[in-house]
């Protein structure tokens, strides 16, 4: 069954890569402007709310039905490309985002069901996602220039195939209440939800701005918009995916060596530093820096899900859905900064502020755990002393 899950994630990732590689330049540069791109990112985030509800209900309704709903929503991409007007773009983006988020939630939940193998399986699943992203982003613009907007239909077909792979796995349960299924992950994941919200906002702000800058940098370096677009997807995913795939395969070893919390904090602050410096870089350095951005995000994702896997005790679909919901809530912060992101100083402050917001819950949890361990150690020492004193007294009496 895991092979089906890995295939499903690869197809979802490839479809999402085509979507991102095409929509960011087409909507943000060619037609409706950066403001429309920010609104599109906002509705994409809002679509995670119903995706969370549906992922939670998958434990009750069964994954086959939920996967079928997600496959039908994938047709929203056909409304979005080519961009005609803002309302149509937003509706299409919301439907497509709901489809990819739902399928992603279902598939990732499947990788986390076996707690002992969760970290290794998520690393392998991440590897398949990396390959899918690399293929999708590299093929997006050549496909678009060859067959036009209808090339986007390939993404829709990929999502339908992903849903079909998941549809063969898992039925529903009659012993669960829908509301309880939705509440459960908020009790188990705790501090990870605000971390996911702030961390996702950081990466959304950084990658949205960088997506537009990367398109302009490649067009400038090649002195041709067409050639720049042909290489846009390759640099966005095709080449960096090699680094990402290697990091994901070593993800479990990195977590074991450095610890999930330390790896998470390091990746967050590395991302904040990169996003703050990118607008100041010349075109060639900006293109090269994308590899570091991809590496930082990969480490963030691996560390976050390693910490999630430690805390799961069932209802994986609802847990992954809640994590995605928290991420989408953080992404909505992008809308508040809309036009201000063009101001480099404000952009850098936003990146650093979001990194600090993601760091605070981790420090608080680390301090809480350290306090509990100290209390447990002190209590154990006191009990050992209490056990030794009567024994010493008895020895003295007999002596």
Q: What is the CATH number of the domain that holds 241?
A: 1.20.1250.20
Tokens of 367: 């301090």
Cα 76 to Cα 120, 197, 206, 389, distances in angstroms: 34, 26, 26, 74
Rg (CA), the chain: 23
- Residue at 251 is within a domain: yes
Residue 394 is assigned to a structural domain of this protein: no
Q: Does residue 398 lie within any of the structural domains? A: no
- Say how many Å lie between the first and final Cα of the chain, rounded: 69
Q: What gap in Å lies between CA 71 and CA 77, rounded to an integer?
A: 12
Contact 163, 70 (CB under 8 A): yes
Distance CA 23, CA 322 (A): 26
pLDDT of residue 286: 77
The predicted structure's pLDDT at residue 210: 66
Question: Rounded CA gap, 226 and 353, in Å?
Answer: 37
pLDDT at position 322 is 73
Q: What pLDDT is stored for residue 228 in this prediction?
A: 61
Give the containing element (helix H, strand E) for 343.
none
Nearest to 294 by CA among 17, 45, 82: 17
Q: Is residue 396 part of a domain?
A: no
397 occurs within a structural domain: no
| Structural tokens at position 334 | 């992008």
Burial of 260 (0-12, 13-18, 19+ CB in 10 A): buried
Residue 399 within a domain: no
Residue 224: what pLDDT?
Answer: 63
Give the global pTM: 0.66
Helix (H) or strand (E) holding 201: helix 192-222
Rounded distance, CA 65 to CA 168, Å? Answer: 10
pLDDT of the residue at 83: 77
* Helix %, strand %, coil % of the chain (to 5): 90, 0, 10
Range of the domain at 357: 2-382
Q: Residue 338: its pLDDT value, please? A: 53
d(CA 240, CA 214): 14
Tell me the pLDDT of the chain (399 aa) as tens digits.
677 888 888 888 888 888 888 887 877 767 777 677 777 877 887 787 777 777 667 666 677 778 888 888 888 888 877 778 888 888 888 888 888 888 888 888 777 777 677 777 777 777 788 788 778 877 888 888 887 777 677 777 788 888 877 765 555 554 455 566 667 767 777 777 788 778 877 877 777 666 666 667 766 666 666 666 666 666 666 666 777 777 777 777 788 788 888 888 888 888 888 888 877 778 777 777 777 888 888 888 888 888 877 776 666 666 777 777 777 766 666 555 555 555 556 667 777 787 887 788 777 777 776 776 777 777 777 676 666 655 555 555 555
Does a structural domain hold residue 336? yes
User: Does a cis peptide bond (omega within 30 degrees of 0) precede residue 355?
Assistant: no
Token pair for 138? 């590299």
Buried b (16+ CB within 10 A) or exposed e, 294-310: bbbbbbbbbbbbbbbbe
pLDDT for residue 357: 79
Handedness of CA 245, 246, 251, 252 (dihedral sign): positive
Domains in the chain: how many in total? 1
State residue 19's pLDDT score: 83
- Between helix 344-398 and helix 260-277 the angle, nearest 10°, is 160
CA angle 242, 20, 193 (to 5 degrees): 85
CA dihedral sign of residues 138, 141, 145, 146: positive
């Amino acid at each position: 069954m895991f092979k089906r899950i890995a295939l499903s994630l690869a197809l979802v990732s490839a479809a999402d890569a085509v979507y991102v590689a095409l929509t960011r330049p087409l909507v943000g540069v060619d037609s409706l402007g950066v403001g429309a791109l920010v609104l599109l990112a906002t509705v994409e985030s809002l679509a995670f709310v119903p995706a969370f509800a549906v992922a939670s209900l998958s434990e009750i309704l069964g994954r086959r039905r939920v996967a079928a709903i997600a496959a039908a929503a994938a047709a929203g991409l056909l409304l979005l490309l080519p961009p005609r007007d803002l309302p149509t773009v937003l509706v299409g983006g919301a439907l497509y985002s709901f489809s990819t988020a739902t399928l992603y939630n279902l598939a990732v939940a499947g990788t986390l069901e076996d707690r002992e193998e969760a970290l290794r399986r998520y690393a392998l699943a991440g590897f398949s996602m990396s390959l899918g992203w690399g293929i999708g982003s590299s093929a997006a613009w050549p496909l678009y220039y060859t067959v036009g907007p209808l090339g986007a239909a390939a993404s829709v077909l990929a999502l339908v195939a992903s849903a079909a792979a998941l549809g063969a796995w898992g039925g529903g349960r009659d012993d669960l209440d829908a509301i309880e299924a939705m509440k459960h992950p908020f009790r188990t994941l705790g501090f990870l939800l605000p971390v996911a919200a702030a961390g996702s906002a950081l990466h959304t702000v950084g990658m949205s701005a960088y997506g537009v800058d990367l398109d302009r940098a490649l067009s400038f370096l090649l002195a041709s918009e067409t050639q720049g677009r042909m290489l846009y997807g390759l640099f966005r995913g095709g080449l960096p995916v090699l680094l990402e795939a290697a990091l994901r395969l070593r993800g479990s070893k990195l977590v074991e060596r450095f610890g999930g919390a330390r790896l998470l904090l390091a990746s967050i602050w590395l991302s904040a530093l990169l996003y703050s410096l990118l607008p100041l870089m010349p075109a060639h350095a900006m293109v090269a820096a994308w590899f570091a951005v991809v590496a930082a995000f990969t480490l963030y994702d691996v560390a976050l899900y390693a910490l999630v896997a430690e805390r799961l005790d069932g209802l994986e679909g609802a847990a992954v859905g809640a994590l995605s919901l928290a991420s989408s809530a953080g992404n909505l912060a992008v809308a508040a900064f809309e036009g201000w992101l063009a101001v480099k100083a404000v952009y850098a402050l936003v990146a650093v502020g979001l990194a600090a917001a993601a760091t605070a819950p981790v420090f608080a949890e680390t301090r809480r755990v350290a306090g509990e361990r100290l209390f447990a150690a002190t209590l154990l020492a006191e009990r050992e002393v209490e056990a030794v004193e009567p024994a010493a007294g008895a020895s003295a009496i007999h002596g």
